[in-house]
């Protein structure tokens, strides 16, 4: 499919116009970023794995009635998606306390939460994606009450489904981030963006070995091997046989400045 002009470029993906009305081509890059762009690398093959894993998750979600932007994957790095107007809120769903939650509130690392916790962050890199409340969302008209309720319900359903899917292959879904957008075509709010090891925390159920972007954030080893392991367990790795495992230097300790 012929790509049109670049519509938008983010940290890990590029959106191009497509020949089809209301549809765009979502291209997955190999760029890895963390700590609001302060740490960067290019990890050859990451985009291919994320494209495939995200396709797998979005098409499964579609089958259980979670409407989303995916039309189809068109090649190793690209998907055809519906054009949406992204709602400027990142929805973070947590099952186990880690990351910013533990830093912010002093909750002990690894605490299993009694109920999934939904947090809202404003999508604004200049401000460092600050946490916002339900009242902020309503007050500044980022969404109305009905839309927010609908998305909260969807977040819980998506979490239930993904937790089960990953649990079945020996992975704990610790937390994840999702985004939604308004689709003029559907006259509705639908799930958009991606769901991949870039946007989830995934721990091996037995060893708690990290299989997600924390490998890059915390220099824990070979990121690609973690992502390949996720794809392999989901039984979708066969098409990735041409991705070479990359040998990284031995992990070294990194000092991370406290915010
Ligand atoms: N997350 C993401 N993009 C962001 C921020 C967070 O995909 O811009 C994901 C992250 O991978 C994790 C979850 O959201 O699965 C919760 O992240 P947290 O707030 O703990 O982020 P941290 O500041 O620790 O990276």
Give 6 Cα–ligand 1 centroid separation in angstroms.
26
Greatest Cα-to-Cα distance within the chain, rounded to the nearest angstrom: 50
Q: Where in the chain is the domain with CATH 3.30.200.20?
A: 6-84
In the prediction, which pLDDT does 253 show? Answer: 57
Residue 244 has pLDDT above 70, yes or no: no
Q: What are phi and psi of 223, to 5 degrees?
A: -60, -45
Closest to 137 measured CA to CA, from 83, 90, 67, 184: 90
Alpha-carbon span 77 to 96, nearest angstrom: 31
Tell me the per-residue pLDDT of 115-154, one tens digit each, with 9 for 90 and over.
Answer: 999 999 999 999 999 999 999 999 999 999 999 999 999 9
In the prediction, which pLDDT does 237 show? Answer: 83
Alpha-carbon span 174 to 184, nearest angstrom: 33
Q: Where in the chain is the domain with CATH 3.30.470.20?
A: 85-224
> Encoding tokens for residue 33?
């970023």
CA-nearest residue for atom 11, ligand 1, is: 199
Give 193 Cα–ligand 1 centroid separation in angstroms.
14
Residue 217 has pLDDT above 80, yes or no: yes
Residue 173 has pLDDT above 60, yes or no: yes
Residues with CB under 6 A from ligand 1: 90, 92, 99-101, 129, 175-177, 199-201, 213
Closest to 151 measured CA to CA, from 58, 96, 89, 60: 89
Task: Specify the CATH number for 85-224; select among 3.40.50.720, 1.10.10.10, 3.30.470.20, 3.40.50.1260.
Answer: 3.30.470.20
Q: How confident is the model at residue 187 (pLDDT cuts 50, 70, 90)?
A: confident
Enter the pTM of the model: 0.92
CA-nearest residue for atom 10, ligand 1, is: 199
Residue 240 has pLDDT above 60, yes or no: no
In the CATH scheme, what is the code of domain 6-84?
A: 3.30.200.20
Q: How confident is the model at residue 186 (pLDDT cuts 50, 70, 90)?
A: confident
In the prediction, which pLDDT does 250 show? Answer: 55
* pLDDT average, residue stretch 150-162: 98
Q: Are 97 and 111 in contact (CB under 8 A)?
A: yes
Q: How confident is the model at residue 241 (pLDDT cuts 50, 70, 90)?
A: very low
Alpha-carbon span 79 to 194, nearest angstrom: 11
Residue 246 has pLDDT above 70, yes or no: no
Mean pLDDT, rounded, of the chain? 93
């Amino acid at each position: 499919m012929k790509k049109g002009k670049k519509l938008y470029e983010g940290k890990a993906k590029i959106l191009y116009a497509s020949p089809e009305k209301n549809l765009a081509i979502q291209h997955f890059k190999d760029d890895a970023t963390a700590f609001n762009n302060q740490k960067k690398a290019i990890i050859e093959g990451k985009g291919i794995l994320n494209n495939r894993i995200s396709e797998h998750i979005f098409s499964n979600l579609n089958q259980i009635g979670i409407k989303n932007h995916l039309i189809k994957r068109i090649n190793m790095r690209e998907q055809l998606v519906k054009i949406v107007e992204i709602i400027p809120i990142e929805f973070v769903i947590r099952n186990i306390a880690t990351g910013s939650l533990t830093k912010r509130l002093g909750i002990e690392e690894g605490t299993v939460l009694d109920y999934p916790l939904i947090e809202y962050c404003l999508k604004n890199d200049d401000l460092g994606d600050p946490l916002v409340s339900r009242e902020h969302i309503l007050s500044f008209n980022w969404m109305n009450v009905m839309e927010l309720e609908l998305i909260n319900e969807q977040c819980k359903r998506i979490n239930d489904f993904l937790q089960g899917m990953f649990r079945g292959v020996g992975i704990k879904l610790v937390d994840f981030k999702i985004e939604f957008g308004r689709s003029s075509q559907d006259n509705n709010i639908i799930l958009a963006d991606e769901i991949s090891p870039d946007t989830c925390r995934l721990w091996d159920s037995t060893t708690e070995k990290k299989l997600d972007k924390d490998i890059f954030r915390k220099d824990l080893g070979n990121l690609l091997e973690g992502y390949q392991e996720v794809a392999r367990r989901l039984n979708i790795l066969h098409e990735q046989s041409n991705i070479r495992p990359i040998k990284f230097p031995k992990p070294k300790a990194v000092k991370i400045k406290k915010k």
